[in-house]
Amino acid sequence: MPSIKSSTPFQLYRKLALAGDGVAAATITSNLTITSAYEEIIQLNPSTGNRVVTLPTVANGAKKGEIHIIRNVGSTYSLTINKPASTTLCTLAPNEFCIVVHNGTAWSTAAQPVGSNSLATGSFYKSVEQTANGSAQTLAHGLGTTPSMAWAVISGYTSAAFTLVPGAHDATNLTFTGTNGIKYFAFALK
């Protein structure tokens, strides 16, 4: 096997592999400090009370370009999303979400809940695992409108070279074309 030699270090800003299917889901019964090992999409139910979710520090692995989409999937209580120094970035009522991103020094919000832009029930789609066949595949998302954001997460592949390309998403379907045999999950936000 050939090796790569370089005297210049390089950095990888994105995770090479996600655990599970790209979404971490949990019911929490106390405050939570997440780590950089958490998946990029985090769905939390605060269960029996308001909870505080604290983002990781640089010392605990937070990296430039790290991103998390955090959603409150509970029905009654709120989630307060805090920087490591206990500074509040946003508060999520039930069915709201925010996107947080790390710039190499600190966390900020790339999107936070605001009135009618908040994520409502039925505004998130996750497919069952798909197997690409080399042709465009359409997946009915049921959102009733063209998604504001759609993406796919590779969950398995058998060859070293593969592609997964989004097509033209519409109010009914997501479209992806992938190398024959790769497996993936598709996601969309209304």
109 and 128 share a domain? no
Is residue 156, in this structure, part of any structural domain at all? yes
Total structural domains within the chain: 2
Is residue 1, in this structure, part of any structural domain at all? no
| pLDDT for residue 102 | 87
Is residue 99, in this structure, part of any structural domain at all? yes
84 and 156 share a domain? no
136 and 68 share a domain? no
40 and 96 share a domain? yes
Integer Cα distance of 110 and 148 in angstroms? 14
| pLDDT for residue 182 | 92
Query: Of the candidates 97, 117, 137, which is a domain's last residue?
Result: 117
| pLDDT for residue 157 | 84
**C-alpha gyration radius of the chain:** 18
| pLDDT for residue 161 | 83
Query: Of the candidates 117, 140, 158, which is a domain's last residue?
Result: 117
82 and 129 share a domain? no
33 and 108 share a domain? yes
Question: Listing from the earlier edge strand, what are the strands of the sheet with 51-54?
Answer: 32-33, 51-54, 79-82, 88-92
| pLDDT for residue 67 | 87
- Angle among Cα 46, 99, 163 to the nearest 5 degrees reads 115
Which domain range does residue 169 map to?
124-189
Residues of the chain with pLDDT below 50 are: 1, 10, 12-19, 115-121
95 and 169 share a domain? no
29 and 112 share a domain? yes
47 and 105 share a domain? yes
Question: What's the predicted TM-score (pTM) here?
Answer: 0.53
Query: Of the candidates 63, 84, 117, which is a domain's last residue?
Result: 117
| pLDDT for residue 12 | 46
113 and 129 share a domain? no
How far are the Cα atoms of 114, 122, 139, 156, 179 from residue 188, in angstroms, in the given order? 19, 11, 11, 20, 21
Q: Which of 46, 47, 48, 55 is nearest to 90 (CA)?
A: 55
Is residue 18, in this structure, part of any structural domain at all? no
109 and 129 share a domain? no
CATH number, domain of 112, equals 2.60.120
Is residue 150, in this structure, part of any structural domain at all? yes
Token digits of residue 125: 């789609």
108 and 134 share a domain? no
CATH number, domain of 155, equals 2.60.40.10
Integer Cα distance of 69 and 110 in angstroms? 10
